[in-house]
Each structure stands twice: as structure tokens, then as C-alpha cells.
Amino acid sequence: MRTEVLTIDSLCPNPVAITRAVEVLRSGGLVAFPTETVYGLGADARNAAAVRAIFAAKGRPSNNPLIVHVADATGARLLTTFWNDAAEQLAARFWPGPLTLVLPRGNIVPDAVTAGGSTVAVRVPAHPVTLALLRAAALPVAAPSANRAGSLSPTLAAHVLASLDGRFDLLLDGGSTARGVESTVVDMTTHPPRLLRPGPIALADLKRVIGPINRGGAATDDRDAPLPSPGMSRRHYAPRTRLECVERNGEARVQLLRKEGHKVGWLALADVAAIPSVRVIAMPLEPAAYAARLYAALHELDAASLDVIVVSLPPRTDEWLTIHDRLSRAAAD
């Protein structure tokens, strides 16, 4: 299959490109598009065959359910059998935005989307391209991140092509994604609700709106168990190159590895002095800016044929929760 690529203005999406994407979705094809978090690989969520094609393209285990993207809260409600006050309040406050709500699944959602489970994850993305596409297509779009299963999420069209070129129909290239990490996922079917995946919307901000929320469940590596949340497997969002996280600055570790003859990359915090023959990327010291840059930096280091990437960990405070979550999964064996 040849993957068609159309450039699209991310602020003012070209209607011709949107029309082409709608055509592909309506005919059961796969479209990769930018969202405010990462690029997604989408299909008509009502079409089980199209949804199965997403799993095939990604090499994704079929027990990993997908998020369904809709244009507004009304569209989300149509996919569930029970829409409670808390869901209403979170939707009103954070949609469109990087928040995914897990709710009891309605009948129009096929098993392929939910991995046979009784719940469905829904989100209204805050990207002009995604919203234009969802409105024009007038259908719910199931979309995981547009990368091979288990690997780094894409924040640029080039990342999508490097991972999946030739495995899907159309890519809308809208440049880099603003948030850079995947949406916050909250399970609204438990009391109190449960944070399944930390993300751009902070736990504290969710709690301010609906009160108590439990922190996620245990990570699982049991491949046959229905996953409470695939993002909770211990290794996920990982580069191919070995990743080593170090508390504090990490320069000593980088120097040691280099002296031992390893080819080293260093994801450093803020500006550090250059080290001969070491690929250094200086990351911002602010969590949102760090998140926006994280996957692109890891993609870049991963492409540099290194033996190891040393990551200087940010502070262990709540505002860095999402970054620690993604880094620890990327570093897991």
C-alpha cells in the first residue's frame, strides 16, 4: 500500500485535504492525523473491519482497547450507556482537550474497539485539524497513537512515516504536536474515579472539579489478561536504544560510559557543557515544555545508532508526574 501524504495548515485546515481524509475514513481506510497530544492513526469506530486494520498496521495486541475521538460531548454521550455528573463536569471543563474518559460502552461500539470489554474510552481533541476532520466526517474515529505497538509516540509526521509508512492510506502532515505526550486517561466507572494514565491535564486540576480520584492500578505484564489500560504495561513508549535514567545531573555516568567505549546520548536537564563525542540534548526545566520536546528528542537520539541514552531525571514532584511515568516505561526492560 502506498501512503498518501497531504500537508495541512494546523491552524486553518485546508478543506480539500479534510475532504480527502473524510473519503478515506468513510470507505473504511486508515488516516493518520495530528492531535494536540501526539499523531493518531484513525478509522471509522463503527466499522469493525476498519478498526481491525489499525491493530494490524500497528502490530498491536488485540487486548489493547482504543480511544474513540468525537467532535463534542454530545458525540461522546452517544457512545456510552451511562453519562454521570462527574463526566459531564470534566467534559465541560476540559473538552476539547487532552483528557480521555472511560465510560460504560454503548451498543454501537464494536468489540474490536474495546477489546471486548464493557467500557469505552472517549475524547474530544483540541486540534483544529482533528476537529475539522471529526466534524466533516460526522463519525466517531477510533485512534491509537500512530506508531508501531510499544514504541515511541509520534509528535511529527516524519515519526509516523518512519514507523508506519506503507501500512495505512493517508497522512495529514500538520507539523509538530503542541503537548507532546498522550492524553490523561480517567476511568469514570469506579467510585471514586481512577487515573489510568497521567497526562497533560494534571490530577490536581481534575480533583478540583470532581473531588477525589484514585491513582492508577498495578502495572501488568500478563499478556493474556484483558488490560485495564494498555499504557499501564511496564514497558511502553520505548525507544529501541537502551535507556538509563539517573537521578540528578548524570554527567558522571555519561563520562564513565564514554570512557568504557560506549556510544552515548544524553538527555540532559537545562544547559550542560558539551562532552566530546557525546550526543547531548538539553531539555527545558519546565514540565509542559519538557513534555512537548520529549518524544522528538528520544526519536532523534534513537536514530543516532547509540549504545545507550542516559536521561537526567527531573525533580520528583507532582508537576513532573507524567514525565516520570513515560520515562520509567521507556527505560523498563
Amino acid identity for residue 242 in this structure: R
Q: Looking only at residues 121 through 150 of this chain, which bind Mg ion when binding is defined by CB under 5 A? A: 145
- 233 binding partner (options Mg ion, ligand TXA, none; Cβ < 5 to 8 Å by kind): none
Of all helices (H) and strands (E), which one includes residue 85? helix 85-94
End-to-end Cα distance, the chain:
33
CB of residue 262 to ligand TXA, shortest distance in Å:
31
User: In 86-179, where do the E strands start and end?
Assistant: 99-104, 119-123, 141-142, 170-173
- 114 binding partner (options ligand TXA, Mg ion, none; Cβ < 5 to 8 Å by kind): ligand TXA
The torsion angles phi and psi of 222, rounded to 5 degrees, stand at: -75, 110
CB of residue 225 to ligand TXA, shortest distance in Å:
13
CB-nearest residue to Mg ion: 145
CB of residue 254 to Mg ion, shortest distance in Å:
29
From the CB of residue 238, how many other CB atoms can be counted at a distance below 10 Å? 19
What are the C-alpha distances in Å from 119 to residues 53, 185, 188, 216?
A: 21, 13, 10, 16
- 97 binding partner (options ligand TXA, Mg ion, none; Cβ < 5 to 8 Å by kind): none
Closest CA to 193 of 88, 283, 268: 88
- 230 binding partner (options Mg ion, ligand TXA, none; Cβ < 5 to 8 Å by kind): ligand TXA
From the CB of residue 52, how many other CB atoms can be counted at a distance below 10 Å? 16
Between residues 98 and 314, which has the closer beta carbon with respect to ligand TXA?
A: 98
Q: Show the cell assigned to 193.
A: 474515579
Between residues 231 and 250, which has the closer beta carbon with respect to ligand TXA?
A: 231
Report d(CA 53, CA 168) in Å as an integer.
9
Residues that bind ligand TXA (CB under 6 A): 35, 37-38, 40, 65-67, 98, 100, 102, 114, 117, 119-121, 123, 125, 143-145, 182-183, 185, 196-197, 229-231
**Does 37 help bind Mg ion (rule: CB under 5 A)?**
no
Binding residues (CB under 5 A) for Mg ion: these are 145
